[in-house]
Chain A
């Protein structure tokens, strides 16, 4: 009897469970179909007046960015009163896993930021709306700078529109240079310091107090994002043409790795990476407080640096053979299953407009991804002397000519982690440069073949 009661309870439970699952699934599907039909009918009738709510998700690079996005969205909603945009900023570190989970749960935002290094991996899984026809009707790929155009296109198609461009650059604290009597790093790429000049100056800017170093010459190259730019500068490559194999095992790449390591170990002009960050200091603060005289960081950091009330300068990176940097930026993409593809495109079109881009360029967070904004009249539209330091105009060609950030052109995010792991052994555990590039090549090629 008692047992029967239990069995009954379980049967009941399971039937409820199963019914629950089936039910919710069924409803979701039907409602999905209904809605897509609705919007289809709406399109056909050309009735744009139906109110639509778009979900839009992005990450917060800085509170100021979120503010700018919100300002932009306000302007957008005034222009399109029938479209309401709900913006959700998400902390950057969890962004792609959050987006992935939402996509898997069929509850993704209609429009979202997508990191350039995730772009191809997400595209491969068919979750991005093909924007090629809409894009072609409004924009031309040729109007974009080469790095942005190349990253944005996958087999000639567009699934997300480049937002802007950002690149590694060299920041410096002018007062420390004045004190040491060292000339400022050049901002004109044609006059870039050679690596030798850079090392000599970094040593002059290193201030010791007994055994302790009070001020380091330079910081930042051990971050692989910056290292890549120097490998390019020496004529090295990370991947082959079509991104199917590593080609980092070259004398050029090895020379760069060794030179960066020597800057810290042999010359003592750079601190250990992570050391200062571990005490809760952001790189920008290290530069401000004089812990380092030069900082290699992304161009986006200018927004923060320009507000820190110290004489900051921006220059190009030192060169090995040719002055070089790389460029990339997130794309604005739409979900393949969005119920409002037309409105989603309107939003992406707005986010891709020069007007929208310019407000963030003025803040120092972004750099333009349009060729038209690199002409003299174009520069005048965004140049802001409160943010962009003296000589900044000399270096704009640096962004225009930037090579594509190589990790944006591959699909396997594991490759990046393998490189980080092997580079850690190189920076911190005395693995030789030869062994490091060999290991990266053999391990990453396995992943690239997948």
Chain B
């Protein structure tokens, strides 16, 4: 086979044209991913030579009480933010799928947090949560509730971070749900009308099932996002008080860039990776079982 003939093949051209992209993927994604996997079996402080330590990082992880704590914190964060985020954004999407006046304004308003910088969002929410001058406790006070000191309480700091995260991510999920809603043909609703279905029935038996591919996508993406939460924690509480809001990625960051422990941090990244993988596989399996419309 000669080079000339090879050049005339479509596959060859495709490969050549894709090369810049593939190259970028290899250098900036695959290589670091593979390198951090190898690093997770080493002890490395970035400055001194790398030492191979086998599985030691992984065994240490589960004896490290801080890691165990941040592990549960991460699960807690996901278990609350993912379901409630999905339910609220679905309801919002349904509400904003009507022909209300100024609908575009509302949609834009709910999407605004998604495009705002987390730094600005964190500052605003710190004000809102302020126990003495914040609006949240002011409103709670109006209905007779003595609000906690949100960000300095080991019990309430995590819910506070969760609320902000849900609020921030709402618009994005809402947008995807809206697209999903608009792809449901009107004829189904008309058929349901003829059968005498009430609004709630239509939602339950037409909208929810037909939206399941969208819900699936949103759920998987939300889980992945929630496991990787970092910015809201880092900006609002720095993981405190008493590590009550510290999550895996936050502790990973501390190990890598504060305690000089790259290998240990990498092993955390891989534990996180497998957590996400397992959750995603469960989602796929569930999806298969329930069926997709």
Contact = CB atoms under 8 A, between A and B. Distances in A.
Interface of A: 1-2, 4-6, 8-9, 13, 16-17, 96-97, 100-101, 103-104, 121, 125-127, 212, 271-275, 278-280, 412-414, 417, 420-422, 424-425, 427-429
B121 to A, nearest CB: 14
A8 B15 CA distance: 9
B198 interface: no
B152 A103 contact: no
Interface stretch (B44-52, B222-230, B278-286): B44-52
Contacts of A126: 47-48
B23 A104 contact: no
Nearest to B151: A278
Contact of B23 (A1, A13, A97, A424): A13
A449 to B, nearest CB: 15
Nearest to A213: B132
B16 interface: yes
Contact of A278 (B1, B16, B129, B260): B129
A428 B152 contact: yes
A272 B46 contact: no
A212 B134 CA distance: 14
Contacts of B47: 100, 103-104, 125-127
B130 A275 contact: yes
A97 B132 contact: no
Contacts of A421: 240, 242-243
A428 B26 contact: no
A2 B131 contact: no
B258 interface: yes
Contacts of A16: 23
B91 interface: no
B78 interface: no
Given A278-B129, A425-B242, A6 B15 contact: yes
Interface string B240-256: 11110000000000100
Contacts of A100: 46-47, 257, 260
Contacts of A414: 258-259
Contacts of A413: 258-259
B264 to A, nearest CB: 11
Contacts of A275: 130-132, 149, 152
Given A2-B9, A121-B260, A125-B47, 11 more contacts: A8-B12, A96-B257, A125-B45, A271-B132, A275-B130, A280-B126, A280-B127, A417-B254, A421-B240, A428-B152, A429-B153
Contacts of A125: 45, 47-48, 260
A363 B84 CA distance: 53
B105 interface: no
Interface of B: 1, 6, 9, 11-12, 15-16, 19, 22-23, 26-27, 31, 45-48, 123, 126-127, 129-134, 149, 151-155, 240-243, 254, 257-260
B257 A9 contact: no
Given A9-B16, A413-B259, A278 B26 contact: no
Nearest to B48: A125
A420 B131 contact: no
Given A13-B19, A413-B259, A414-B259, A428 B254 contact: no
A5 B154 contact: no
Nearest to B236: A278
B133 A279 contact: yes
B260 A272 contact: no
A427 B152 CA distance: 9
Contacts of A425: 154, 241-242
A429 B258 contact: no
B152 A417 contact: no
A417 B238 CA distance: 11
A424 B241 contact: yes
Contact of B130 (A101, A103, A278, A417): A278
Contact of A272 (B11, B19, B23, B131): B131
Contact of A424 (B16, B22, B48, B154): B154
25 contacts: A4-B1, A5-B6, A5-B9, A5-B15, A9-B12, A17-B31, A100-B46, A100-B47, A100-B257, A100-B260, A101-B46, A103-B46, A104-B47, A125-B47, A127-B47, A212-B132, A275-B130, A278-B129, A278-B151, A279-B130, A413-B258, A420-B240, A424-B154, A427-B241, A428-B154
Contacts of A274: 151-152
Contact of B12 (A5, A417, A420, A429): A5
A5 B13 CA distance: 9
Most buried by A among B19, B151, B242: B242
Contacts of B152: 272-275, 427-428
A308 B74 CA distance: 43
A426 to B, nearest CB: 9
A420 B66 CA distance: 13
B144 to A, nearest CB: 15
Contacts of B258: 96-97, 413-414, 417
Contacts of B134: 279
A425 B240 CA distance: 10
Given A126-B47, A280-B127, A424 B240 contact: yes
Contacts of B242: 421-422, 424-425, 428-429
A271 B155 CA distance: 19
Nearest to B125: A278
A8 B13 CA distance: 12
Nearest to A423: B242
A420 B19 CA distance: 50
Contacts of B27: 17
A428 B241 contact: yes
Contacts of A417: 254, 258
Most buried by B among A5, A96, A127: A5
A390 to B, nearest CB: 33
A125 B11 CA distance: 51
A280 B123 contact: yes
Please give me the 6 A-B residue pairs with the lowest Cβ-Cβ distance, nearest first: A97-B257, A104-B46, A424-B241, A424-B242, A9-B15, A125-B47
Contacts of A104: 46-47
Contacts of B241: 424-425, 427-429
Contacts of B153: 428-429
Given A126-B47, A280-B127, A424-B241, A272 B149 contact: yes
B11 A6 contact: yes
